[in-house]
């Protein structure tokens, strides 16, 4: 109770920020942090060490989430320079608070099937995040400038028009170049740079599947509705577009190509037979919705231009999107890498130089992760196969119950004696009810364990695809390195020649510098893809544990409730 009172005082702090005296803010900040540590520390100690390891990636996400309010506070309060001196002592306490927040966020992900609970539960977390906004005020002044730029970019991105997107890309690339010169410590502080986007939740809904019949073949069209809430703006934007399965598949390919090393939330598998059954369409609709929700929850994918086009553009035409991508490539220096690689490939083939080199993983963490993925896939498929066999047997069991009920019903029609006939009739009715319970159990098994196991089997395949895209990026980088060495050789050869033949020296120097810049960019991209892959693998492990835990618990509770109903059926018969 005392903690809640302090939080309420923190909520009241913002409106009166201008009138607070210089001495009061430090004391107010210290008290809630101390109490928070006392409250949350038992949870941290109670958890096993591995759980602590799994919660560590979320420190960044929570840290990211809390920054824009800090920015607003800094803009509105003139006390920034004074709080800067308190930063070193506040930092470890903030980490502990964030760990506590991480553990509390767990059930939100677990409850993703329950839409109402998710909506109602989300807003209190946002308010609690608000209550923690004074704590990170101790951050240094240096990130303030890029934060303000990022805020402006976020506001521009909300309007979702092409010219603004170009501007966003330019500012993002310049920001990344600037961050290269920072040290590791400053680099960690620079991670909050991407924070503002992750705080604006997307409410994505895939609904209203209907079949469109054409002359040669038919396909199913889904409505995709997006609701974007900006806490800085009172307005709420709603967009609804029509998409088909191929559009989702194309979106997956675009995201996979644009973000090597990133694990893209997978799409359901393509199916030809029985693809217009109501049950199949409903399962696919649910899987597509989960895919879009997870893309919107990813800190990098949610800002992808293709994803925005998918959610908002009236027509998601593959050709148009391809042209747009080319336009982006020509306009931005970062995106021109792949096209330049194409030129390098043609240049290399002209000289018939063997540029193929075998990729061998050097990072022990990724080697272990790959092996873990392989064994995980085997086990998941084994469990899923056993579950499908069990579901099939239960369907046949329900059919046998139905047949037995019919036979007993026929016996009740033989009026050998009225009392016996009524008993047989009651037993027949009982079998009908038990059959319905068994059929509902089939649906429960499918929707809880079946859906989750199938989803993570596809997720493992998507993770392997991320390894593949990262490997291709490495090969592109190696080709670029070879091009650099060839250009350097030509340059040195030209320098050794007589001065009369050095007319092409400036051109060769320009080419050499150009190739070296490309190689440096590709090396940085590969390093970023490695970091992104590691982070996504950790996120995948965490979300897999959360989803499996939620589905197992839901499956068990539904089995228990079904068992109680079965007991009620049998014993109600005894009361007759």
Partner 1 sequence: MSSQHSTDDLMNSHVFSGGFSTLDDKGFQDVPIHTDMPGSISVEPSSEDANVGSVNGNINETPVFEADRLIAEATMNPSAASSTTGENSISQTGSGPFLRIRIVDIEAENSKDPVIKMNVQTTLPAYRSKLYKNVRRTHAEFKKFAKYLISTHPECLIPAVPEAKTSVSSGIKEDLIYLKSGLQSWLNYVSTNPNLLYDPELQLFVESDYGYSPLINTGNPTSGLKRKALKQFPLPPDPCQALANLRPIVKSFYKNAKDAEIKLEKLVNRKQSLALTHADLGQSLIDYSVEEQHNGLANALNRVGKMLQAISDVRIMQSSKQLVTLADSLCYASDNAFVVKEILSNRHILMRDLISSKNQTNSYLSAANRLQDSPKISKARTDDALQALEVARVHEKLLSDKVDFVTLNLVKESKTYTKKTSVSLQKAIREYVEKEAYYERRLLSIMESIRPHIRNIDPFGGLSRLGREEYPRRLSNPPPSQKTNQDAWTNRKRPGYSSSFDGSSQSTFNPSNNDGAHNTSENADELVEPPIGNERLDPKSVANLLNAI
Alpha-carbon distances, residue 38 vs 35, 43, 46, 218, 540 (angstroms): 5, 10, 13, 61, 31
Alpha-carbon distances, residue 192 vs 199, 262, 504 (angstroms): 12, 19, 47
- State in angstroms the smallest separation of the CB of 552 from partner 1: 6
The dihedral built from the CA positions of residue 370, 376, 379 and 385, taken in this order, carries a sign that is: negative
Q: Is 293 annotated for ligand binding?
A: no
Angle at which helices 505-575 and 336-351 cross, to 10°: 120
- State in angstroms the smallest separation of the CB of 376 from partner 1: 7
CA-CA distance, 275 to 392, in Å (whole number)?
20
Identity of the residue, 364 or 506, whose beta carbon is nearer to partner 1 in the bound complex = 364
Identity of the residue, 106 or 511, whose beta carbon is nearer to partner 1 in the bound complex = 106
CA-CA distance, 173 to 155, in Å (whole number)?
18
- State in angstroms the smallest separation of the CB of 5 from partner 1: 13
- State in angstroms the smallest separation of the CB of 414 from partner 1: 5
**Residues in CB range of 36: below 8 A, 6 or more apart:** 3, 93, 96, 97, 100
Identity of the residue, 61 or 469, whose beta carbon is nearer to partner 1 in the bound complex = 61
Please state the separation of Cα 180 from the chain's center in Å. 26
Q: Is 275 annotated for ligand binding?
A: no
Identity of the residue, 48 or 274, whose beta carbon is nearer to partner 1 in the bound complex = 48
CA neighbours within 13 Å on the CB side: how many for 427?
18
Identity of the residue, 9 or 557, whose beta carbon is nearer to partner 1 in the bound complex = 557
- State in angstroms the smallest separation of the CB of 236 from partner 1: 25
Max distance between CA atoms of the chain, in angstroms, equals 123
* Under 8 Å between Cβ of 139 and 189: yes
- State in angstroms the smallest separation of the CB of 4 from partner 1: 8
Identity of the residue, 32 or 110, whose beta carbon is nearer to partner 1 in the bound complex = 110
- State in angstroms the smallest separation of the CB of 459 from partner 1: 15
Closest CA to 206 of 226, 183, 223: 223
End-to-end CA distance of the chain: 53
Identity of the residue, 277 or 561, whose beta carbon is nearer to partner 1 in the bound complex = 561
- State in angstroms the smallest separation of the CB of 575 from partner 1: 6
Identity of the residue, 120 or 504, whose beta carbon is nearer to partner 1 in the bound complex = 120
Closest CA to 304 of 321, 289, 290, 288: 321
Identity of the residue, 366 or 494, whose beta carbon is nearer to partner 1 in the bound complex = 366
Closest CA to 467 of 340, 337, 344, 374: 374
- State in angstroms the smallest separation of the CB of 401 from partner 1: 6
Closest CA to 242 of 313, 306, 297, 178: 313
| DSSP letter assigned to residue 202 | E
**Element of type H or E holding 489:** helix 451-496
Q: Is 284 annotated for ligand binding?
A: yes
Question: Which residues line the annotated binding site?
Answer: 244, 270, 284
């Amino acid at each position: 109770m005392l903690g809640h009172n302090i939080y309420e005082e923190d909520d009241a702090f913002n409106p009166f920020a201008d009138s607070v005296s210089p001495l009061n803010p430090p004391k107010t900040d210290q008290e809630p942090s101390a109490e928070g540590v006392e409250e949350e520390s038992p949870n941290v100690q109670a958890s096993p060490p591995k759980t602590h390891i799994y919660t560590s990636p979320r420190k960044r996400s929570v840290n990211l989430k809390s920054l824009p309010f800090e920015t607003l506070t800094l803009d509105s309060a003139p006390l920034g320079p004074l709080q800067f001196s308190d930063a070193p002592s506040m930092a470890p306490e903030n980490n502990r608070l964030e760990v506590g927040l991480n553990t509390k966020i767990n059930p939100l992900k677990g409850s993703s099937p329950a839409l109402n609970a998710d909506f109602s539960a989300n807003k209190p977390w946002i308010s609690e995040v608000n209550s923690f906004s004074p704590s990170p005020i101790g951050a240094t002044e240096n990130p303030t400038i890029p934060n303000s730029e990022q805020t402006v970019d976020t506001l521009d991105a909300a309007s979702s028009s092409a010219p603004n997107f170009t501007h966003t890309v330019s500012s993002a690339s310049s920001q990344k170049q600037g961050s290269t010169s920072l040290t590791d410590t400053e680099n960690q502080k620079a991670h909050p740079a991407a924070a503002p986007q992750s705080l604006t939740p997307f409410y994505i809904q895939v609904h209203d599947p209907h079949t469109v019949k054409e002359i040669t073949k038919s396909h199913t069209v889904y409505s995709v509705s997006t609701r974007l809430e900006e806490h800085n703006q009172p307005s709420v934007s709603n967009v609804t577009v029509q998409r088909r399965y191929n559009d989702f598949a194309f979106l997956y390919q675009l995201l996979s190509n644009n973000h090597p090393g990133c694990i893209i939330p997978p799409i359901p598998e393509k199916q030809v037979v029985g693809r217009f059954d109501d049950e199949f369409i409903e399962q696919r609709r649910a899987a597509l919705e989960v895919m879009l929700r997870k893309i919107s929850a990813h800190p990098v994918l949610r800002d992808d231009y293709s994803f925005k086009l998918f959610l908002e553009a009236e027509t998601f035409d593959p050709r148009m999107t391809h042209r747009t991508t080319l336009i982006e490539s020509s306009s931005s220096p970062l995106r021109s890498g792949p096209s330049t690689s194409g030129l390098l490939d043609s240049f290399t083939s002209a000289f018939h130089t063997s540029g193929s080199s075998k990729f061998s993983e050097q990072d022990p963490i990724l080697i272990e992760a790959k092996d873990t993925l392989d064994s995980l896939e085997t086990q998941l498929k084994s469990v899923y196969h056993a579950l499908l066999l069990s579901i099939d047997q239960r369907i046949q069991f329900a059919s046998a119950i139905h047949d037995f009920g019919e036979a007993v019903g026929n016996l009740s029609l033989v009026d050998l004696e009225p009392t016996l006939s009524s008993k047989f009739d009651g037993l027949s009715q009982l079998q009908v009810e038990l059959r319905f319970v068994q059929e509902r159990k089939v649906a429960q098994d499918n929707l809880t364990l079946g859906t989750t196991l199938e989803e993570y089997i596809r997720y493992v395949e998507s993770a392997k695809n991320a390894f593949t895209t990262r490997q291709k990026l490495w090969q592109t980088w190696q080709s670029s390195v070879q091009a650099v060495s060839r250009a350097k050789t030509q340059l040195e050869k030209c320098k050794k020649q007589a001065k009369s033949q050095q007319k092409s020296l400036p051109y060769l120097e320009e080419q050499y510098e150009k190739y070296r810049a490309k190689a440096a960019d590709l090396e940085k991209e590969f390093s970023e893809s490695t970091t992104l892959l590691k982070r996504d693998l950790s996120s995948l492990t965490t979300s897999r544990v959360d989803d499996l835990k939620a589905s197992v618990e839901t499956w068990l509770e539904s089995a228990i409730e079904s068992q109680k109903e079965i007991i009620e059926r049998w014993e109600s018969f005894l009361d007759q």
